C-alpha cells in the first residue's frame, strides 16, 4: 500500500489531470461583426482541474458550444439582452451551473473566459487505504481584449453548434 501511495498514485493523478485537451486548430481571429451583430469568444485555458470534463455553454437556452480544456469557440449573436449559461457534462445539480444576463451592443466583440481553481484539497491515510478529497470553484469572466488575446492564443478551436459564425 505504501508503494501505491508513493509511486503509483501520483502518476495516476498526473494522467487524470492532463487528459482531454482540445485538439482543433490554434486560435485565429474571426471576421469583425457586422453593425447588427456581436462577436462572442468563449475560451477555457489550461487548468489542472476538471480537465477530463467538457463544459457546455448556452445562450438563451440553446446550446452553443462544448469546450474541452485549452479550447475556444467563436460565434455571432444579435445585440440586446441574452442569458449566458455554463454547465459541466455529467453534472445535473443546479449548483454546478453558472447563469447570468449579458447586454450586448451592436458591433462589439466580447471575450468570456472559464476559470477553474482548487478551493480545498486533502489527503488522509486510513486503515489500508488513502482518502483524497478536493473542492473546486469556477467562474466566467468578461476579459479585456489585450488580456484575452494573449490567453486565447494558447487554445485550440472547437466549432459552435447551430450558431452563425465560425472562423475558418
Q: Is residue 70 part of a domain?
A: yes
> Would you say residue 105 has pLDDT above 90?
yes
In a domain, 26, yes or no: yes
Does residue 101 carry a pLDDT above 90? yes
Q: Per the domain annotation, does 162 fall within a domain?
A: no
Please report whether residue 57 resides in a domain. Answer: yes
pLDDT tens, position by position, 55-97:
899 999 999 999 998 999 999 999 999 999 998 876 665 567 8
pLDDT of 10-52, one tens digit each?
544 544 544 567 778 899 999 999 999 999 999 998 876 666 7
pLDDT tens digits along 111-127: 999 987 665 667 777 67
Split into its structural domains, the chain has a count of 1
What lies within 8 Å, CB to CB, of 15 at 6+ separation is none
End-to-end CA distance of the chain: 52
Structural domain contains residue 139: yes
45 occurs within a structural domain: yes
Q: Residue 37 gets which letter from DSSP?
A: -
- Domain span at residue 18 reads 2-157
Residue 168 is assigned to a structural domain of this protein? no
Residue 163 is assigned to a structural domain of this protein: no
d(CA 49, CA 55): 12
Q: What is the DSSP letter of 8?
A: I
Amino acid at each position: 500500500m505504501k508503494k501505491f501511495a508513493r509511486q503509483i498514485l501520483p502518476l495516476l493523478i498526473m494522467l487524470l489531470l492532463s487528459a482531454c485537451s482540445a485538439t482543433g486548430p490554434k486560435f485565429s481571429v474571426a471576421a469583425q461583426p457586422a453593425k447588427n451583430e456581436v462577436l462572442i469568444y468563449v475560451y477555457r485555458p489550461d487548468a489542472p482541474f476538471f480537465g477530463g470534463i467538457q463544459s457546455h455553454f448556452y445562450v438563451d437556452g440553446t446550446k452553443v458550444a462544448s469546450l474541452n480544456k485549452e479550447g475556444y469557440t467563436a460565434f455571432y449573436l444579435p445585440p440586446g439582452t441574452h442569458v449566458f449559461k455554463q454547465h459541466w457534462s455529467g453534472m445535473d445539480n443546479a449548483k454546478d451551473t453558472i447563469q447570468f444576463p449579458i447586454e450586448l451592443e451592436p458591433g462589439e466583440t466580447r471575450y468570456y473566459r472559464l476559470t477553474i481553481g482548487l478551493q480545498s484539497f486533502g489527503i488522509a491515510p486510513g486503515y489500508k487505504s488513502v482518502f483524497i478529497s478536493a473542492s473546486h470553484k469556477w467562474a466566467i469572466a468578461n476579459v479585456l481584449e489585450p488580456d484575452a488575446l494573449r490567453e486565447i492564443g494558447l487554445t485550440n478551436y472547437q466549432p459552435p453548434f447551430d450558431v452563425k459564425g465560425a472562423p475558418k
